Structure 1
Amino acid sequence: MTNLQTLRRLAQNREAARKSRLRKKAYVQQLESSRLKLTQLEQELQRARQQGIFISSTGDQSHSMSGNGALAFDVEYSRWLEEHNKHINELRAAVNSHAGDAELRTIVDSVTAHFDDIFRLKGIAAKADVFHILSGMWKTPAERCFLWIGGFRSSELLKVSSVLLLQSDFWHGALLGFDIQLLASQLEPLTEQQFMGIQNLQQSSQQAEDALSQGMEALQQSLAETLANGSPAPSGPSGNVANYMGQMAMAMGKLGTLEGFLRQADNLRQQTLQQMHRILTTRQSARALLAINDYFSRLRALSSLWLARPRE
């Protein structure tokens, strides 16, 4: 190798080493920036906690939030979701170990009661910031694609749970090579009466959803007409302040009904879950709850994959 080639190779090595150091430095800086952001967020949450703006999970329902209601609810929802996952893991373990009906019923009841908690928390949060709850910003992006009046559509979840009750366990077991006769003995297929009950519940839920959707559309139309047909904003002392303020007061009154729509939608979700449990046996209810949880888990996983996708 000539001296020129040696010098060229050394220069290339130095350049490669320099670029490597720059990449490492940028990576370290990115990690440090992420650490600082996390520390800042933890400090903000701690200050919020000290200011007493969090919703008490055990407090009465009339307790109102002060300060940043959206932040308070987001933290409470994260806490609720973490607790929900613990309940679901316990339920899954009980189903997989073929626990008795009494033990399974206790766990199913705890999962159902935990759903009641989130409806209660949403009701409290809506009094502080109904737009935050309706927007679904406390949900992941994929979940927000299916958002309906601040939550899930009961009729859609009934489809998810009933389809999986009819198919998933049997075919999943077959694909894994399980003994089909043994597997069939472990399952409780829906009876014709149960199937019709779920179908009727789904239909009634859909009708209630349609009625609420029509009510929301009518509210939006009425609000738009109120804002469009009112007096212009006063530009000075001679402006029609009284008419303008009257128009805005009317619009505010109409916005006030949003909380009622959210409450009705959550009541529908809550009642649908309760009715579903009345139709199904304990073991079927357990499997339906697991199916519903798996559905939302996949939506959250899809959101994570989407946000982490490579960007050109």
Structure 2
Amino acid sequence: MWTSSSSDTPKEKSSDQKSLRRLAQNREAARKSRLRKKAYVQQLESSRMKLAQLEQELQGTRQKGKFSLGSGDQSHSTSGVLVFDAEYARWIDEHSKQIAELRTAVNAHASDAELRTAVDNVTTHFDDIFRIKSTAAKVDIFHVLSGMWKTPVERCFIWIGGFRSSELLKLLLNQLEPLTEQQLTSICNLQLSSQQAEDALSQGMEALQQSLAETLANGSAGPLDPSGHVGNYMGQMAMAMGKIGTLEGFLHQADNLRQQTLQQMHRILTTRQSAQALLAINDYFSRLRSLGSLWLARPYE
């Protein structure tokens, strides 16, 4: 006896339709997954290319820094570091000439007016080196801060790209005689305020270095990490670059302190005392440079 299976047909059809829907859903999910993966890979490649471009641009900036020193003949594109080193060498030569003129005026017992002119020339010339350093810092702040433009011995004493004002004032206290009680008090107060400002800047530099180290240490993924942290890496580098950018401000503040200290020193001292002070400062730095040159020229065993 033949029995019809028509009663099972709706169930079979319903089961087949569910299977087809699941297959369609799986295919659609797989298609979307492939699209997402493709978009992610494209984004990863785009980020990698942007990072490579950024690193190339940074390298080019370090190697081919460009800046103008204000003169038409010097405004052509060139290496900022080499321009700065050349400008500093010229500054030293001119400074030596002005110091020689000042020393001649002092030894010849020139009038106060003539001596004042010579003192003002040297003081104004100090302003030039601060301007040159400020311009060079925009190209390579690390070159200026490290003191690579100075001799090895000078670099041992460098502080944020230059000399410590408080140390120079301490030197002058032993060189300038006679000083009135009021002058002595004023110089001691200036030395104290300079020391406090230097300590504050030094603490700021230490805090910046610590913050920069923490920024770099907090990233666990490299630029090509397969986990997809390229964006995080680039953001981390951008944050670190921003912090490095603040170094220029520290140099500006340190040079401003040096400049103000020299100006305050001249207000405290008489014209002849200012002349003696400038000669003493020059002699000190000259001995440092000479010692550095002797060190470089020492015979090797």
TM-score normalised by length of structure 2: 0.75
2:164 maps to which of 137, 143, 153: 153
CA–CA separation in structure 1 for the residues paired with 2:223 and 2:65: 39
1:194 maps to which of 171, 183, 187: 183
CA–CA separation in structure 1 for the residues paired with 2:126 and 2:76: 21
Residue type of the partner of 1:255?
I
Shift of 1:53: 6.0
- 1:269 alignment counterpart: 258
Shift of 1:68: 1.3
CA–CA separation in structure 2 for the residues paired with 1:66 and 1:232: 38
Shift of 1:310: 2.1
- 1:33 alignment counterpart: none
Aligned 8 A contact 1:234 1:241 in 2: yes
CA deviations over 1:69-88 (Å, ceiling 9, x no partner)? 11110000000110000000
Shift of 1:139: 0.5
Aligned 8 A contact 1:54 1:76 in 2: no
Structure 1 portions without partners, runs of 5+: 1-50, 167-188
1:232 maps to which of 211, 221, 227: 221
CA deviations over 1:3-34 (Å, ceiling 9, x no partner)? xxxxxxxxxxxxxxxxxxxxxxxxxxxxxxxx
Aligned 8 A contact 1:141 1:303 in 2: yes
Aligned 8 A contact 1:53 1:72 in 2: no
Does the alignment pair 1:128 with 2:139?
yes
1:128 aligns to what SS in structure 2? coil
CA deviations over 1:123-162 (Å, ceiling 9, x no partner)? 0000011010001000111110100000000011111122
Taking a change above 3 Å as real, the CA distance of residues 261 and 309 of structure 1, as seen in their structure-2 partners, is: same
- 1:284 alignment counterpart: 273
1:301 maps to which of 284, 290, 294: 290
2:127 maps to which of 110, 116, 129: 116
CA–CA separation in structure 1 for the residues paired with 2:297 and 2:181: 45
Aligned 8 A contact 1:162 1:288 in 2: no
Does the alignment pair 1:76 with 2:83?
no
- 2:104 alignment counterpart: 93
CA deviations over 1:215-259 (Å, ceiling 9, x no partner)? 000000000000001241132565311111111111111000000
Aligned 8 A contact 1:233 1:239 in 2: no
CA–CA separation in structure 2 for the residues paired with 1:216 and 1:53: 27
CA–CA separation in structure 2 for the residues paired with 1:134 and 1:310: 29
Equivalent positions of 1:140-179 (< 5 A) are 140-166=151-177
CA–CA separation in structure 1 for the residues paired with 2:76 and 2:274: 35
Does the alignment pair 1:215 with 2:214?
no
1:82 aligns to what SS in structure 2? helix
Aligned pairs, number: 237
RMSD (Å), alpha carbons: 2.0
- 1:106 alignment counterpart: 117
- 1:8 alignment counterpart: none
2:238 maps to which of 241, 249, 253: 249
What percent identity do the matched residue pairs reach? Answer: 76
Aligned 8 A contact 2:106 2:275 in 1: yes
CA deviations over 1:250-271 (Å, ceiling 9, x no partner)? 1111000000000000000000
- 1:23 alignment counterpart: none
Does the alignment pair 1:56 with 2:69?
yes
- 2:41 alignment counterpart: none
Taking a change above 3 Å as real, the CA distance of residues 86 and 57 of structure 1, as seen in their structure-2 partners, is: farther
CA–CA separation in structure 2 for the residues paired with 1:139 and 1:65: 25
Taking a change above 3 Å as real, the CA distance of residues 54 and 248 of structure 1, as seen in their structure-2 partners, is: closer
Structure 2 portions without partners, runs of 5+: 1-63
TM-score normalised by length of structure 1: 0.72
Does the alignment pair 1:204 with 2:193?
yes
Residue type of the partner of 2:284?
Y
CA–CA separation in structure 1 for the residues paired with 2:251 and 2:113: 35
